[in-house]
Amino acid sequence: MALAIITMIIGLAVLVWSADLFIDGASAIAVKFNMPSFLIGVLILGLGTSAPEMVVSALSAYAGSPGLALGNAYGSNIMNIALVLGVTAFISPIFIRGAVVKQDMLLLLAMTALAAWQLVDGTLSRFDGIVLSLALLIVLMIQIVLALRQPAANAPVATANGIDSTKAIFSLIIGLAVLILSSRAIVWGAVQLATLWGISELLIGLTIVAIGTSLPELVASIVAARRGEHEMALGNIIGSNLFNTLGVVGLAAIIHPLAVEPEILSRDFLAMAIITGLLFVLAVIAYNRSGYLGKGGGAVLIASFIGYTGWLISSAL
């Protein structure tokens, strides 16, 4: 028990440190190359924090476990919006640009609809996987073009003088690697404690492990928002969900065609679609009112996370 507690404490401290290093590197690259913060959030933070999900789903598909492969991707999307963005907005209000609502979130909704259309027949073929992967490439190209068309609206305001590109890239890579490893250490410690306290493996998987896999996105988004990098925090979530919906599921289907279990479509994907739509509605309201997604919107998202978790546990018992 002592080892588990020590591991969790050290893991948490390292997690916060690595998130700072990761955001430092991302911000420096944005300034050095005059890239919009939102684009950095979508491409670098989104892809980087989705790397664990991609590996888990790919290995699950290869091992013939479609439920784990799909549940990992869609569950992560739910966590990203309901838990990660909810907690981030509750702690530090997130600025919402009109372009994000009218373009980026609509893209996310469209890709969610594409994924739903592919799932309704109960299977994901290799062709479906190729379509999803190609859709990801197209979406990323659209994101890049849209972001670069509006440099004045979201470009970093700092100067690039004195920024060491090598150091920035090093901070980004090391920060991401340690961020992921430290989150895994926290999950390991939590699982060990839960096991010692007699909590069932099912509840551990549905709660501790599920939340633990979202720690990189959670800490990175909170750090970014508290530093005023609101667009980087929001871009992280939108980018991560796009990578999960298209890239993670697409790669898994290419590796091995997936049978879609009924509960994935009727529960997990449905919940993901509803929460994605809820985010869009909250963002529109925030944009038309104060321009910030704050405590009220964050509380609604957190409540949806609690509701989904309760639904998940009750349906699994």
Residue 135 tokens, joined: 């859709």
CA separation for the pair 289, 284 (Å, rounded): 9
> Quick check: 275 pLDDT over 80?
yes
Cβ atoms of 46 and 22 closer than 8 Å: no
Q: Tell me if 208 is assigned to some domain.
A: yes
Single out the residue of 118, 86, 42, 116 nearest to residue 214, CA to CA.
86
pLDDT tens-place string over residues 191-232: 777 777 776 654 565 566 666 667 777 777 887 787 777 777
Here the tokens at position 270 are: 């449905």
- What does the mean pLDDT of the chain come to? 80
Residue-number span of the structural domain to which 76 is assigned: 36-155+190-316
Q: Is residue 171 part of a domain?
A: no
Which residue type sits at 306? I
End-to-end CA, the chain = 27
Q: Which helix (H) or strand (E) holds 95?
A: strand 94-95
pLDDT of residue 202: 47
Read out DSSP for 208-253?
IIHHHTTHHHHHHHHHHHHTT-HHHHHHHHHHHHHIIIIIIHHHHH
Domain annotation covers residue 23: no
Alpha-carbon torsion angle 34, 36, 39, 45, nearest 10: 80
- Number of domains present in the structure of the chain: 1
> Distance between CA 7 and CA 80 in Å, rounded?
25
| Range in 58-62, 75-79, 234-238, 273-277 the model is least confident about | 58-62
Asked whether residue 2 is assigned to any structural domain, the reply reads: no
Per-residue pLDDT averaged across 105-110, rounded?
Answer: 93
Cβ–Cβ < 8 Å for 54, 246: no
In a domain, 3, yes or no: no
Does residue 246 sit within a domain?
Answer: yes
In a domain? residue 66: yes
- What pTM value is reported for the model? 0.78
- Residue 262's contacts (CB-CB under 8 Å, 6 or more residues apart) are 122
Query: Is residue 161 a part of any domain in this protein?
Result: no
The pLDDT assigned to 63 comes to 74
pLDDT at 206: 52
CATH code, 265? 1.20.1420.30
Whole-angstrom CA distances from 282 to 41, 61, 164, 290, 309 are 20, 35, 39, 12, 21
pLDDT higher than 80, residue 303: yes
Q: What is the pLDDT of residue 200?
A: 60
User: Residues 289-301: what's their mean pLDDT?
Assistant: 92
CA–CA separation, 98 vs 228, rounded Å? 18
